[in-house]
């Protein structure tokens, strides 16, 4: 279909907006974050996002969504709406909650901050004394969030209180990606240990391991019907897995590197 070159630096996330159609990318340079595919108009957010290095996240909805970048944490839909400045040590990762009402960011290695998008105020912070946090994900109903650490530790926590529901040593190396299913019943994780694992979200029970990658696994995406899971690895390989059986269905060669931004089309 084609290749788009949107940003300098690493592309760290990708969201498809299918009534539009637009894409948002999370890129280190924070520069060009959205490309409108209909009408071929390219929006380059400069005033609010600037040219400084940082990461950006986008909220999955239309009309074209607010975009957050993690230098100070700014929220923008082309004009600056809110500047969140509570983090003093830089922000390593940032995501919107599924409703778009909250923003979760990681500043210190063991601390997550939760922000109110409308007011720009910090609501609460969550700390982890057991492991440095590398990735985190929020369930669709915003009841829970999962953290994945440098040593492979996974923690499921209550979104309101931060209470830990379960902890497992899920991987033997960095957790690179975590992803809830839409119904919140399962969660998939990927790691530098070359594995993808699927977990029961309620209990932390490992349901299956998807084996076959020869390099670190850096990206995950569920298909629209959530019967299949797409993974990306450092060697550039994209693999499609059957979620129910763990069987590898298809492979697609890509470009070697830290591919973190993958997504299915809406029709699968």
Q: pLDDT tens, position by position, for the chain (268 residues)? A: 444 444 444 444 444 433 333 333 334 443 333 333 333 333 333 333 333 444 444 444 444 444 444 444 444 444 444 444 444 444 567 889 999 999 999 877 789 999 998 888 899 999 988 899 999 999 999 999 999 999 999 999 999 999 999 999 999 999 999 999 999 999 999 999 999 999 999 999 999 999 999 999 999 999 999 999 999 999 989 999 999 999 999 999 877 777 777 888 888 7
Return residue ranges of the chain for CATH 2.130.10.10: 8-122, 128-268
The domain over range 8-122 is classified in CATH as 2.130.10.10: yes
Written as six digits, the tokens of 232 are 């990306």
CATH C-level class of 128-268: mainly beta
Instruction: Give the contacts of 243 (CB within 8 A, at least 6 positions apart).
Output: 186, 198, 222, 226, 227, 228, 229
Residues 210, 125: Cα–Cα separation, whole Å: 33
What was the pLDDT predicted at 254?
77
Residues 237, 107: Cα–Cα separation, whole Å: 31
- Bridge partners (DSSP) listed for residue 220: 231
The C-alpha angle with vertex 43 and arms to 41 and 44, in degrees rounded to 5, equals: 140
Residues 113, 129: Cα–Cα separation, whole Å: 15
Q: Label residue 246 exposed, middle or buried (CB < 10 Å: 0-12, 13-18, 19+).
A: middle
| CB contact at 8 A, 249 and 228 | yes
């Amino acid at each position: 279909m084609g290749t788009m070159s949107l940003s300098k630096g690493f592309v760290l996330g990708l969201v498809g907006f299918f009534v539009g159609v637009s894409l948002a990318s999370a890129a280190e340079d924070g520069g060009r974050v959205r490309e409108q595919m209909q009408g071929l108009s390219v929006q380059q957010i400069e005033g609010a996002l600037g040219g400084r290095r940082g990461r950006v996240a986008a909220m999955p909805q239309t009309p074209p969504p607010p975009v957050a970048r993690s230098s100070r944490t700014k929220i923008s839909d082309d004009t600056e709406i809110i500047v969140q400045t509570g983090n003093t040590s830089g922000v390593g990762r940032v995501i919107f909650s599924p409703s778009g009402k909250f923003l979760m960011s990681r500043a210190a290695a063991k601390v997550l901050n939760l922000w109110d998008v409308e007011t720009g105020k910090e609501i609460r912070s969550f700390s982890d004394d057991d492991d440095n946090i590398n990735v985190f994900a929020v369930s669709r109903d915003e009841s829970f969030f999962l953290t994945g650490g440098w040593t492979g530790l996974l923690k499921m926590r209550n979104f309101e209180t931060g209470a830990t529901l379960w902890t497992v040593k899920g991987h033997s190396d960095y957790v690179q990606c975590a992803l809830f299913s839409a119904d919140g019943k399962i969660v998939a994780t990927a790691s530098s240990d070359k594995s993808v694992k699927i977990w029961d979200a309620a209990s932390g029970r490992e349901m299956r391991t998807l084996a076959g990658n020869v390099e670190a696994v850096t990206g995950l995406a569920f298909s629209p019907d959530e019967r299949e899971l797409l993974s990306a690895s450092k060697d550039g390989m994209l693999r499609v897995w059957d979620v129910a059986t763990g069987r590898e269905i298809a492979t697609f060669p890509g470009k070697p590197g830290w591919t973190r931004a993958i997504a299915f089309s809406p029709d699968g």
